[in-house]
Amino acid sequence: AQTVTQSQPEMSVQEAETVTLSCTYDTSESDYYLFWYKQPPSRQMILVIRQEAYKQQNATENRFSVNFQKAAKSFSLKISDSQLGDAAMYFCAYRSPRAGGGADGLTFGKGTHLIIQP
């Protein structure tokens, strides 16, 4: 079974600064998908960014970008120009390429609580 590890339970950053959230994973599959989800106090999980393992180019969505290191099984999220609205729990997630994600669906890390200091 795959595992996802987020080693930072909490991170704090000043507004307008840049912060990087770490994520490592373990899998024996060569093709898969990786995601970062944001969960604000409203509890709704919001997809921030997605990366296909077969793509070497790192995904970017506006102020959010990833550093995908396949050999190291590392998938970090960089948030540039942090805003107060970025404050939330951030979850790294893995999905098997098999339809439906296989028996594990999405496998999530434990999350990182991101605090934005005004």
Partner 1 sequence: KAGVTQTPRYLIKTRGQQVTLSCSPISGHRSVSWYQQTPGQGLQFLFEYFSETQRNKGNFPGRFSGRQFSNSRSEMNVSTLELGDSALYLCASSLRPENTEAFFGQGTRLTVV
Amino acid symbol at 4? V
DSSP-assigned beta bridge partners for residue 106:
95
Q: Which stretch binds partner 1 (CB under 8 A): 23-31, 54-62, 79-87, 93-101?
A: 93-101
Number of residues that bind partner 1 (CB under 8 A): 25
Q: Which of residues 4-23 bind partner 1 (CB under 8 A)?
A: none
Residue 63 vs 110, nearer CB to partner 1: 110
Question: Which runs of consecutive H residues, i.e. helices, occur in 1-118?
Answer: none
The strand pair at 19-21 and 74-79 is best described as antiparallel
Cβ neighbours of residue 12 under 8 Å, at least 6 residues apart?
Answer: 114, 115, 116, 117
CA 24 from chain centre, in angstroms, equals 10
Q: One symbol per residue from 35 to 54: x for binding partner 1 (CB under 8 A), - otherwise; what is it?
A: x-x----xxxxxx--x----
Q: Which stretch binds partner 1 (CB under 8 A): 8-16, 21-29, 64-72, 104-112?
A: 104-112
Residues that bind partner 1 (CB under 8 A): 33, 35, 37, 42-47, 50, 91, 95, 99-111
